[in-house]
Amino acid sequence: MAEMEMKELSPREIAEIAVKALDSKRAKDIKLLYVEKQTVLADYYVLATGNSNTQINALSGEVEHKLTEAGVAVSHIEGYGNGTWVLMDYGTVAVHIFSREARDFYNLDKLWSDSEQIDITPIVTAEDKEDNKD
């Protein structure tokens, strides 16, 4: 019997797994931005807000866990444990998890406002859809 080949995930699939992981741990204001036309750094940015240092660490841990399960390794994590902004670099996808204050201060939502915001309502739980609308 031949070994099963691991399917390589597209950047969009990686980003959607991150969104689902964040949603499962009740992140707030999750956004998925298609930024390939604006930067060479990544194809997608995932933005989310946590309510506390503990939740921000749990959110980043869940993203790493779910993507590792899917066969995708994080290449770099910046800011884990400081409780204000965790950046997880997956090459084609960057996951940004902020405290409310850091998200307001750095305002990546405005900085990347010319990028395409992907509708995540089909991939988040029904009860959280209202939290993720603008």
Predicted local distance difference test score (pLDDT) of residue 83:
77
pLDDT in tens, 40-56: 889 999 999 999 999 99
Predicted local distance difference test score (pLDDT) of residue 89:
97
Mean pLDDT, the chain, whole residue set? 89
Regions of the chain with pLDDT less than 50: 1-5, 128-134
Handedness of CA 8, 13, 19, 20 (dihedral sign): negative
Element of type H or E holding 87: strand 85-89
Q: Give the whole-angstrom CA distance, residue 124 versus residue 111.
A: 24
Predicted local distance difference test score (pLDDT) of residue 7:
63
Pick the closest to residue 88 from 65, 110, 118, 107 (CA basis). 65
β-bridge partners, 95 = 46, 88
